[in-house]
Amino acid sequence: MRVHGGMTYLVSRMRHGPEKFILPQKVHWCLFLAYLAVLPIAGPIALRNVLLAILVFQSLFFCFATCKSANTSAGIGKPTAWLMIWASFLLLFPLTARDPGVAWRELGGQWLESLLAWFVAFVVVRRISPTARDLLWIGLASAFYPFVYLILFLWAWMGGLGYPAYIEDASWAAILDVLVRNVGNVAWPGLSNFPWGFRGFDPIHANLGATAAHAFIAFAAWGLADWQKRREIKKLAWLIFLLGCSYLVPVLASSRASILCISFMVLLVILVAVAQLWRGKSADGVRPAAGRLVSLGMAVLGMLCLMGFLAYQSYEKDPRWRTMLHKATIGFWVPDAMGVVCHGISAELESGIRNRLTGMPVHQVDEILQGMRGDGGRVLVMRAGLQLVLEQPFGLDGSRSAYKLSMHERCGGVPSLDFAHPHQGWIDLALALGWGGMLLYLGMIIYLLWVVVAGLLKREWSGWELGLFMLCIFWISRGFFDSVYREHFLQMQGALIGFFWAGWLQDVGDRQS
């Protein structure tokens, strides 16, 4: 009787239309923020999928409801041609893939999830019509994981995670176990036990760096939007604090690629801010007061000094920086990258490397040779992966294992340098989806870049344009350091780029009207 009654209730609700299933606007917004917060964390995959599923159903109900109403402008709007072409390519790719079974499974997995992330981002913007204040909430949601990391870092510095600070597993149970086990070791922190390089509980440090960059970009966009609204940033101290924390996270974690990318983001923010101040005027045509400009200038100078200090400390504390260039250079110097990846470094090649590094201390030469499985190995794997891309223009099967399967096939077994992926996102994407898939995705991001840069030449930028510009730059550059066009990274790109894209389209529409 209960089941029958429940079905009767559900049918009666459906008869009244999809409006009855739409959650309140604030609940929809909070669900989207929660989705952004858990996206970069490796552990709660089930929670991430549940939140995405709820958002998809809410978005569908909202679209059906608004399509039935007279006010069609409240719908999701017309998707741009690039996004539609990209989605069509993903849907058709399994028909030409080498292994259609795997390709269809991947389409129903990471690729479909990424498309749904774009979809829910567009719909949430259409429903809530976000303002500058909402950009702050986007930043805080993206900063959830970095803030958790900073709390764990402080606790590790006090000895609460043992010496050296380490968490064996990414599960919450393992974290709680470490906290309880070392609670007696907690003491006042000192410089001698500062835990440089502590990675937190997530073994994939790119997760931490990416979400820290997302938070930095969202906070910068909020700061610009707030400045344009009042011609003064009343919460300047909070803005500097939030930007500083976002930059601090990858530095403390010693994630070199993330440090380089977020440092580039800092320079971009400063350049855009200078350009905006140079040409920007308030609504009545009066330029900002000199005192306010001096305050902002001092804030920028302080941020640059802090960034320089942290970068210097990272260089001093992390010895990998000192030999990174040499390792990469040797990786490019090796004549047959594919041969080394498959069969390892021969005695003749090792002798040639040592002769090339004559004059360097012996221990550094040994470290560089050992680094052929690290930084130097990444260069070799990237070169070998590029060779595979040229040999396979139509890709493999759309899976995250495309590089590994291709390399095992090319080497006739397990290669000597057995990397799971080429540590180069664009090569990884080209091996998975072919040249067409890689160029389409890159073209979509470059298109967005071109549009916002063209807008900068015509008018003052908004927070939406700054955020979209920096997100595109970040994810293009991040792909040259790691394989980030896969799994939840695709959802991170779709959710946040889609949010700023839709917000920018809405902002342009408001200006024209």
pLDDT for 386 equals 94
Neighbouring residues of 508: CB distance < 8 A, sequence distance ≥ 6 = none
Average pLDDT for residues 67-89, to the nearest whole number?
Answer: 67
pLDDT-based confidence at 51, cuts 50/70/90?
A: very high
pLDDT for 390 equals 94
Neighbouring residues of 189: CB distance < 8 A, sequence distance ≥ 6 = 154, 157, 158, 159
Residue 491 Cα to chain centre, angstroms: 9
Residues 487 and 484: their CA atoms lie apart, in Å, by 8
- DSSP letter at 74? G
The answer to whether 103 touches 482, Cβ cutoff 8 Å, is: no
Query: Per residue in 139-150, pLDDT tens?
Result: 999 999 999 999
Task: Indicate if the pLDDT at residue 394 is higher than 70.
Answer: yes
How far lies 167's CA from each of 178, 207, 317, 359, 435, in Å? 7, 16, 21, 40, 40
Average pLDDT for residues 290-305, to the nearest whole number?
Answer: 68
For the range 59-63, what are the long-range contacts, defined as Cβ-Cβ under 8 Å and sequence gap of 24 or more? Answer: 59/119, 59/120, 59/123, 59/124, 60/18, 61/18, 61/19, 61/21, 61/22, 62/18, 62/22, 62/28, 62/123, 62/126, 62/127, 63/123
Query: Per residue in 221-246, pLDDT tens?
Result: 998 888 777 655 667 778 888 988 99
- DSSP letter at 392? -
pLDDT for 415 equals 92
Query: Per residue in 299-324, pLDDT tens?
Result: 677 777 777 777 777 777 777 777 77
Instruction: Pull the structure tokens for residue 291.
Output: 């005192």
Query: Per residue in 199-216, pLDDT tens?
Result: 877 777 788 999 999 999
Task: Indicate if the pLDDT at residue 263 is higher than 80.
Answer: yes
- DSSP letter at 396? S
Tell me which residue has tokens 């440092």: 263
pLDDT for 3 equals 43
pLDDT-based confidence at 2, cuts 50/70/90?
A: very low
Average pLDDT for residues 340-353, to the nearest whole number?
Answer: 86
469 versus 459: the higher-pLDDT residue is 469
29 versus 258: the higher-pLDDT residue is 29
Query: By percentage, how much of the chain surpasses pLDDT 70?
Result: 84
Task: Indicate if the pLDDT at residue 286 is higher than 90.
Answer: no
125 versus 351: the higher-pLDDT residue is 125
pLDDT for 187 equals 76
Highest mean pLDDT among 242-256, 311-325, 493-507: 493-507
Average pLDDT for residues 156-172, to the nearest whole number?
Answer: 70
Q: Give φ, ψ of 8 to 5 degrees.
A: -60, -40
Give the residue among 262, 257, 249 at the shortest CA–CA distance from 197.
249
pLDDT-based confidence at 69, cuts 50/70/90?
A: low
Task: Indicate if the pLDDT at residue 76 is higher than 50.
Answer: no
Highest mean pLDDT among 152-156, 279-283, 370-374: 152-156
484 CB-contact burial (10 Å; exposed 0-12 / middle 13-18 / buried 19+):
buried
Q: How many CA atoms lie within 13 A of 423 on its CB side?
A: 18
Query: Per residue in 183-203, pLDDT tens?
Result: 777 778 777 778 888 887 777
Give the residue among 242, 204, 113 at the shortest CA–CA distance from 420.
204
Task: Indicate if the pLDDT at residue 498 is higher than 90.
Answer: yes
Average pLDDT for residues 351-375, to the nearest whole number?
Answer: 78
pLDDT for 461 equals 76
Q: Is the dihedral of CA 383, 384, 387, 389 positive or negative?
A: negative
Average pLDDT for residues 272-289, to the nearest whole number?
Answer: 59
Q: How many CA atoms lie within 13 A of 344 on its CB side?
A: 5
pLDDT for 256 equals 85
pLDDT for 486 equals 86
Q: Taking all residues of the chain, what is their mean pLDDT, rounded to a whole number?
A: 82
Alpha helix (H) ranges present in 397-462? Answer: 402-411, 425-458
Task: Indicate if the pLDDT at residue 50 is higher than 70.
Answer: yes
pLDDT for 421 equals 85
The answer to whether 485 touches 428, Cβ cutoff 8 Å, is: yes
